[in-house]
Structure 1
Amino acid sequence: MPDQTEYDYFSPHPDEGPDHSPQCTQCAAARPELEKIKNFALTQRERFADQHLHPYVAGKTSLHRSNCSTVEDLARQGRPLSGEEGTESEADVFEAELPEFAHARLLTAYQPNFTVMTAREAAEWVRARTGPRGGTRYRLCKICTPAPPADGA
């Protein structure tokens, strides 16, 4: 007969917390994928800092100006989530993120939802999402109303 004990939803996952082994094979297997996601997110944050060189930001299906309020969370990618800024290094944020990503596929510090682009990259992004008869498979943000990038940009 199976064990009928009630599951405690508030207890930590068995692979998390102070008893989590640093030699966990699931975490070791997920490390390269999370490292790639982290590098992408931090690169986007660096690109976002230079809005003059990177004036466009693309979501999955929408194009924004880099100063749009919709994409402000890019500036916080990979930073400590606590209220005390500067208490953790980027390496500490990464190590804290790894168990949840490895065991539950959850991300909090790195959310690669946007791609920061130059005008030329944005023109290419628009061209890739424009059909042969001119129909578009993207939309322009209604908050920042970006001008579509010129093809020769």
Structure 2
Amino acid sequence: MPKKKQKKRARHRGGTQPVTRRELVPQPRISTPAETPDTYEGLEPWGPEPGPVGYSTGGEAVDINFATGTLPAVRLGFGELFAQERRRAIREGWGFTVELPAVLELLEQIDEGRVNALDARNYLAQSVDLLYDAFRCFEAEDPDELRATCREAGRCPLCDERRPWFEGLLDGSDARWQRLQQPEEYPFAAGQHGLHETTCSVVRRETPSNYARPIGDAYVAALNAFCHTVDPHSSREDFEGSRDYPRFQAMTAQEARQWVTERTGPKGGRNYKRCQRCAPPL
């Protein structure tokens, strides 16, 4: 019988590949850390370091004067505790704290008959009113309630603080308004969105038709609107009633060229826009 032809097995040209022996790698084990002695064992609990003799820290000191004597340097603070169970107006003491030793001493004097309880209550309430501005308690008030109170009183700590900003706004508005009324001398105007001619319809549309520096009751109302709605972290140009003040800065031709130069990069790139309606010729 004829023998069957056996297929030749193809051999790798590179010869037989050597078999790589895999070494047994030991599995990791969780080792028990060595016990370290507690370095704080046996030590006394840490306590506050005593300050210099006669030196007080924290809050503000208020002397409470009674007919029979004075409770000196009572320390009061604000902002640490706001008990919801006894919530009331901040001006009535909500959010204020009083040092406990002074309270205990005050109760002892009441118990001994040296101080009247009603007088003690009134003096503590007066201390709250005394420290309201110093602790900037108005920052914790509800903004709408604070503004309503300001309208009734005609002023508030926030208005007193931001009044210089408002005065600066009025000074700038006065100067801008005077220039905008003289387009022949100041033919160009710059705004937030670029350069225009002073007579451009965009400038007229975004500028109040009549402007006068507010005085009297109008000043109080304008101050209230500015101080209670302005964002102190922005450019201070966005607030209630901001459209009542001129914003465009009118310029002479020379000032406008300088304005353009300051906003043109070294390669000629413009960091400003030119109005497409009036196309100021600069």
Distance across 2 between alignment mates of 1:57 and 1:24: 37
Q: Who is 2:144 aligned against? A: 13
Aligned residue for 2:273? Answer: 139
State, as a whole percentage, how many aligned pairs show the same letter.
29
Residue 195 of structure 2 aligns to a residue in which SS? strand
Q: Deviations over 1:37-58 (max 9, x none)?
A: 1111121111000101100000
- How far did 1:94 drift? 2.9
> Normalising by the residue count of structure 1, what TM-score does the alignment of the two structures yield?
0.73
Q: CA RMSD in A?
A: 2.6
Equivalent residue, structure 1, for 2:260: 126
Matched, 1:91 2:215: yes
Map Cα deviations across residues 9-68 of structure 1 (whole Å, 9 max, x no partner). xxx932237853234111111111011011111211110001011000001241000000
Q: Does 1:102 align with 2:227?
A: yes
CA distance in structure 1 between the aligned counterparts of 2:167 and 2:268, rounded to whole angstroms: 38
Separation in 2 of the partners of 1:28 and 1:77? 28
Could you tell me which residue of structure 2 aligns to residue 60 of structure 1?
192
Residues of 2 paired with 1:42 and 1:133: CA distance?
37
Amino acid in the other structure paired with 2:209: R
Structure 1 unaligned runs (5+)?
4-11, 80-88, 149-153
Once residues 76 and 27 of structure 1 are traced to their aligned partners in structure 2, the CA distance between those partners, rounded to angstroms, is 28
* The one of 185, 209, 215 aligned to 1:76: 209
Whichever residue aligns with residue 62 of structure 1, its letter is G
Letter of the 1:95 counterpart: V
- d(CA) in 1 for partners of 2:261 and 2:192? 15
Q: Which runs of 5+ in 2 are unaligned?
A: 1-83, 88-142, 231-238
Which structure has the higher relative contact order (CA within 8 Å, separation 6+)? 1
State whether residues 158 and 227 of structure 2, in contact with CA within 8 Å, keep that contact through their aligned partners in structure 1. yes
Which aligned segments of 4 or more residues in structure 1 are displaced greater than 6 angstroms?
A: none
SS at match of 2:280: coil
Deviation at 1:116, TM superposition (A): 1.1
1:31 to 151, 163, 180: 163
- Change over 3 Å in CA distance of 1:123–1:141 after alignment to 2: same
- 1:64 alignment partner, SS class: strand
1:85 corresponds to which residue?
A: none
CA contact (8 A) 1:45 1:75 kept: no
